[in-house]
Structure 1
Amino acid sequence: MKSFRFRLTVIMLIVIGVSVLAAGITMGQIFKNSNMKVLEENMGREIDLLRATFPFVNTDPLSSTDYISYYSEKAKEIARLTQSRVTFIRKDGTVVGDSLSDPRKMENHASREEIQQASTEGIGRTIRYSETLKRNMLYVAEPVVSDKGFDGYIRLSMNLKTVEEGIQRGWMAIGIGLVLLFLAAGLVSYRIARGLTSPIEHITGVANRISGLDYDARVGVQRRDEVGQLGEAINRMADSLQNQMKTIRDNEDLLQSVMSNMTGGILMIDAEERIALVNRESERMLGVAGKRVTDKPYHELKKHYELTKLIEGSIQSREKLHGEVHLYNPEERLVLLDGVPMYEDDGGYRGMLFLLQDITAIRRLESMRSEFVANVSHELKTPIAAVKGFAETLLGGGVKDEETSRSFLQIIYDESERLNRLIGDILELSQIESKRSSLDCSPIHVSSFIESLLEKLNNVAAKKRITLHMEIPDELYMEADEDKLQQIFLNLLSNGINYTLDGGKVKIKVVTVQRDHDTERVVFTVSDTGIGIPKKDLPRIFERFYRVDKGRSRNSGGTGLGLSIVKHLVDLHHGTLSVESELGIGTTFTIELPLLQQEE
């Protein structure tokens, strides 16, 4: 736009410059012609004056030499008065007197332009370069006929140097005036051009900003002409674009929010078999970055071979897809894949849309449910079979010995107790897992609490000569659900006693630690000198019905649910549970609980 303004200014200056120059030349020429006209008229009046007052003489009483001398002397006198060259010329062109040169040496002037013009028109005028004076001269001649016998011409000539100098000064004055006028015209032209181009330049800048997605840009031109109407049209267009873009952005934000927060993965393959869209959940499942694979061929997912083959088949057939695939990223995942072809309203194919749902947890829960049912059935079947068998034996009357009968009844009682514990543990675990179990927290004096638990277990420990030891600060209080806390430590301490050989030791130690954000935690350590747990079994000991030594666990009366219940109760208290063990040396369970429970 600035170049346009420059070109417009230059064009205006050229037009103005040509006009001013033409006017200057015309004025100069008029000035020159006017000066020459005035000068010629003055010289003509001087000749007229000479014609009336000059004392002409006849050639008869004078010799030729005296005649020439007379007119030459008179010419010189007149020249001093008129500041011009004076020449007397006879009718035949002979010069008889001149104020500057000797007439006898001057050639005949009958052919001179001013003499010929004077003879025909009564006055002759011409400008000619004088070989005698070596300069431009203005010649004015008129015919003169005197009653004294002179018949010829009087010619006045004037050096044009003074006139030319005057004209030069005039030209200089005109030139200076023209330059000043040109500068003024240039300034005015620039202001006019700026006034014409500035609004357009402003409108162009606003249009460029709008094209650069700056929809807040507006034209501030307040005019009622065509430029103002153009500005108003640009503003209306910007308002419309801004409203449309706001609607588009709102829709995009909403769509992006939906895509980002979907629990399922979305994978879109366009008609050119390129990845058009990958949402956050797909990135997580596939282990890819959306920015890196978008607009790339779907074969970029080649590390998921099974998935790629299913996508390839669906794209080639352009039919709906429903199937399950295994993904490894790096752990194994089971993903349900649904695909549908996408078509435009006119029937044009746009690609395939795939929905990925991680069903690993669902399948694991289904497996756990099946395993749980199988374990419960097995665990219930064993005591029921024993009760049924011994009861049938007693009812059949096959046992006559009272001591044997009593032994059978004791077995039936023990198995029924075990069955009762099993059902109780199942109900307890079910209640915890279904979130129906809530905490009823109260302040607990830890030392007194643990001491009461050890008293309950003293008799069982004494039978195996196992020493129970505790190391707990006397002043320690914490906030927890006392019943659930009791259930946690009774399970752990009972396991420690059950799996520790005679003469061993079970110890519980309690300390407080300071964690991040100034939160205090209570750390419980329950250790024994028992048989230990193999390393391969450590990751699974908190699973339901998992037993390291199934025969020994059943003989000890365990249900296989104790540690699972402990894990859930610790989680309910917002705590952590870990285990360390070495075969033949012992096992240590570490529980870390908050000193104060947070309100929910």
Structure 2
Amino acid sequence: MIKFRARLTLIFIVLIGVSVLAAGIFMAKMIQDSHIEALKSSMIRELRIIMATMNWNMPGSEAEQVRRFNDQAALLKRSADSRITYIRKDGKVLADSDHDPATMDNHSAREEIVDAGAGGEGYSIRYSDTIGRNMLYAAVPVKENGAVVGYLRLAMSLEDVEQSIRQVWFGLIVGLLIVFILAGLISYRVAFGITRPIERITQVAQQITNLNYKARVTIRKKDEIGQLGQAINRMADSLQLQMNRIQENESRLKSVLENMISGVMMIDREEKIVLLNRAAEDIVGFSGQELHGKRFDEAKLHFEFTQLIRTCIDEHEHIRDEMVFYYPTERILEINLNPVLQTEDEWSGVLIVLHDITAVRRLERMRSEFVANVSHELKTPIAAVKGFAETLLAGALNDKDTAKSFLQIIFDESERLNRLIGDILELSKIESKRIPMNFSPVHLNSFVGNCLKVMKTEARRKQIDLEMHVDDDMYMEADEDRLRQILINLLSNGINYTPEGGRVRVRVEGAVTAEDGEYETVRFIISDTGIGIPKKDLPRIFERFYRVDKARSRSSGGTGLGLSIVKHLVELHKGSIRVESEVGFGTRFIIEMPVIH
């Protein structure tokens, strides 16, 4: 912009300078022509006066005439300070006031003589070698009886005229310099006034180019440049509005992608990975920074997954498949690959959506296992009932002792079948969250005491000691019936899997203390001195129908659903349960529940 301002200033100065120079030249020419014309008129008048007072045909010889002409020329030189020359008709110089006529050339071809002979007056301006300066020559013919007998020539130096012209040029140059200075200042001011707003507009346009959409032009004028500034501001407003919308949409899209539970990947036409959301990073085991910009076949992805991508790129068709990923964790994935087409024949990449269906498949497997387990668990008591009933029908009724024993077995198996069906129905209701929860304050000391009273008979049968450690002032909000079901199930397990003479203990304590000194969480610890649970079985202890010792579980009358029911009931209380155990040393179940719901 500074260069443009300098060029504009220079253009203004050159235009003004050329104009002033042209005017000066014209004025100098006019002055010179005016001076010369005035000199010509004056010289012609002087020549005519001289010619009127002289006698060309003087008596005497030619030498005497020449001498008299020279004397007269010298006299005129002294009085008029002008060079006078007498020239004969044939061009011979008879006399000259400034030079010896004998040494002078023939003047018949001189311009002023030729013009005087032809038109009565003749003029010429030339450099005189005789006196060494520019001279103005004027000549008139001398006539007698209508015939030209000679020429009278007057010459004047142009030094005064040239001096005047020099003065004019000096004044012109000084004036031109002053004009240049003023013109430069004025031009710079004018150029600055023109270019400064353009410079500001250019700066704002550059800032907008650099994505600073808040930049605006300060408008002080309403001319064309002001209108241009307004147009730039309106354009910036529009760009800022559109960019805000784009950023909002981009933010929404980014938020959606980052919070999707499904993985999303994008591969462009150059087979490079250009998009990878957080879920996809977790699935493939690499961060976006590691994969972004890499070719998919160089990214060390799962081999079968890479082959699927290659097939989609080659065939340009949608592909859906299920695949097991073993890194970073074992997962079952549903993979959808969609070619992104710009036109029917031109594609721009592949969009890949990864769904983690591990939980779905696990639930399906658990459902199948549940049905199989239920069928197996129902089949055993039904088979026993059927077998002993057939035996009785076959004649065992006649033996009263045998018949009584068989009927007791049938009764026990039917009771077991009833408990199993009841537990299945209970677990189904709990898992579907169809059971109502009635929360009310529970005094934990008396509550745990009542639960131990219920289990006292069963514990006394195996000579197992029941202990409780609960502060007298502990309360919590809970569904009392469901909390009793939790505690009795765990106590029953402890009694069943603890040898005779063992011990089962219940301890309740405030686990987390608030700022005001009140506990926020209640922790139940149910421990026994039983046979314990192997470490390999601990992760599955809360699964339905899972038994550590299947033979002993059946002999104890358990259904395999008790701990699963306990886990779901604890979760309905927004609590958590975990188990700690060591084979031969006993087991501890630890439950944490909030005091207030």
1:111 corresponds to which of 101, 107, 110? 107
Question: Which residue matches 1:32?
Answer: 32
Shift of 1:538: 1.0
Q: Aligned AA for 2:168?
A: G
SS of the counterpart of 1:451?
helix
Aligned-partner Cα distance in 1 for 2:541–2:158? 132
Q: Aligned AA for 1:116?
A: I
CA contact (8 A) 1:342 1:353 kept: yes
SS of the counterpart of 1:361?
helix
CA contact (8 A) 2:378 2:417 kept: yes
Shift of 1:430: 0.7
Find out whether 1:580 has 2:580 as its counterpart: yes
Shift of 1:582: 1.8
CA contact (8 A) 2:69 2:94 kept: no
Shift of 1:308: 3.3
Q: Aligned AA for 1:111?
A: H
SS of the counterpart of 1:461?
helix
CA contact (8 A) 1:306 1:326 kept: no
CA deviations 1:78-113 (Å, max 9, x no partner) are 24xxxx4444647552446x4xx6x66984475394
Number of residue pairs aligned between Structure 1 and Structure 2: 574
CA deviations 1:506-529 (Å, max 9, x no partner) are 23131231489x993222222223
Q: Aligned AA for 1:513?
A: V
The correspondence of residues 393-542 of structure 1 with structure 2, limited to 5 A, is 398=396, 409-501=407-499, 502-514=501-513, 520-542=520-542
CA contact (8 A) 1:210 1:217 kept: no
Question: Which residue matches 1:359?
Answer: 357
CA contact (8 A) 1:86 1:154 kept: no
CA deviations 1:537-563 (Å, max 9, x no partner) are 111111111111222222333221111
Aligned-partner Cα distance in 2 for 1:410–1:314? 68
Aligned-partner Cα distance in 2 for 1:561–1:85? 150
Aligned-partner Cα distance in 1 for 2:193–2:168? 35
Shift of 1:479: 1.9
CA contact (8 A) 1:13 1:186 kept: no
CA contact (8 A) 2:265 2:277 kept: yes
Shift of 1:498: 2.6
Shift of 1:432: 1.2
Find out whether 1:78 has 2:74 as its counterpart: no
CA contact (8 A) 1:90 1:153 kept: yes
Q: Aligned AA for 1:521?
A: T
- Larger mean Cα displacement after TM superposition, 329-338 or 534-543: 329-338
- Larger mean Cα displacement after TM superposition, 341-350 or 543-552: 341-350
SS of the counterpart of 2:423?
helix
CA deviations 1:49-106 (Å, max 9, x no partner) are 556679999798x999996896477446524xxxx4444647552446x4xx6x6698
CA deviations 1:171-225 (Å, max 9, x no partner) are 24444566677775997899799989999x97999899799998x999x99999x
Residues 125 and 317 of structure 1, relative CA distance in 2, 3 Å threshold: closer
CA contact (8 A) 1:138 1:158 kept: yes
CA contact (8 A) 2:511 2:519 kept: no
SS of the counterpart of 2:93?
coil
Q: Aligned AA for 1:365?
A: L
CA contact (8 A) 2:333 2:355 kept: yes
Gaps of 5+ in 2: none
- Larger mean Cα displacement after TM superposition, 251-260 or 305-314: 251-260
CA contact (8 A) 2:531 2:584 kept: yes
Residues 122 and 464 of structure 1, relative CA distance in 2, 3 Å threshold: same
CA contact (8 A) 2:87 2:107 kept: no
Question: Which residue matches 1:591?
Answer: 591
CA contact (8 A) 1:125 1:139 kept: yes
CA contact (8 A) 1:59 1:67 kept: no
CA RMSD of aligned residues (A): 5.6
| TM-score, normalisation: structure 2 | 0.73
Aligned-partner Cα distance in 2 for 1:104–1:247? 105
Aligned-partner Cα distance in 2 for 1:4–1:76? 65
- Larger mean Cα displacement after TM superposition, 303-312 or 358-367: 303-312
The correspondence of residues 98-137 of structure 1 with structure 2, limited to 5 A, is 98=97, 107-108=103-104, 111=107, 113=110, 116=113, 120=117, 121-130=119-128, 134-137=132-135
CA contact (8 A) 2:510 2:519 kept: no
Q: Aligned AA for 1:552?
A: R
Residues 513 and 13 of structure 1, relative CA distance in 2, 3 Å threshold: same
Aligned-partner Cα distance in 2 for 1:311–1:65? 127
CA contact (8 A) 2:9 2:184 kept: no
Aligned-partner Cα distance in 2 for 1:474–1:247? 63
Aligned-partner Cα distance in 2 for 1:273–1:440? 59
Q: Aligned AA for 1:499?
A: Y
Aligned-partner Cα distance in 1 for 2:364–2:553? 26
Find out whether 1:331 has 2:332 as its counterpart: no
CA contact (8 A) 1:94 1:109 kept: no
CA contact (8 A) 1:425 1:561 kept: yes
SS of the counterpart of 1:307?
helix
SS of the counterpart of 1:444?
strand
Aligned-partner Cα distance in 2 for 1:498–1:590? 18
Residues 194 and 385 of structure 1, relative CA distance in 2, 3 Å threshold: same
Aligned-partner Cα distance in 2 for 1:282–1:596? 39
Aligned-partner Cα distance in 2 for 1:408–1:117? 174
Question: Which residue matches 2:563?
Answer: 563
Q: Aligned AA for 1:161?
A: E
Aligned-partner Cα distance in 2 for 1:374–1:430? 16
CA contact (8 A) 2:82 2:156 kept: yes
SS of the counterpart of 1:547?
coil
SS of the counterpart of 1:440?
coil
Aligned-partner Cα distance in 2 for 1:9–1:448? 103
Shift of 1:374: 1.9
Question: Which residue matches 2:380?
Answer: 382
SS of the counterpart of 2:523?
strand
Aligned-partner Cα distance in 2 for 1:504–1:269? 64
CA contact (8 A) 1:114 1:141 kept: no
Q: Aligned AA for 1:509?
A: V
Shift of 1:363: 2.2
Question: Which residue matches 2:305?
Answer: 307
- Larger mean Cα displacement after TM superposition, 26-35 or 314-323: 314-323
Gaps of 5+ in 1: none
Identity across the alignment (%):
46
SS of the counterpart of 1:369?
helix
CA contact (8 A) 1:88 1:155 kept: yes
CA contact (8 A) 1:513 1:523 kept: no
Residues 315 and 78 of structure 1, relative CA distance in 2, 3 Å threshold: closer
SS of the counterpart of 1:497?
helix
Q: Aligned AA for 1:507?
A: V
Shift of 1:244: 11
CA contact (8 A) 1:209 1:217 kept: no
- Larger mean Cα displacement after TM superposition, 437-446 or 317-326: 317-326
Q: Aligned AA for 2:450?
A: S
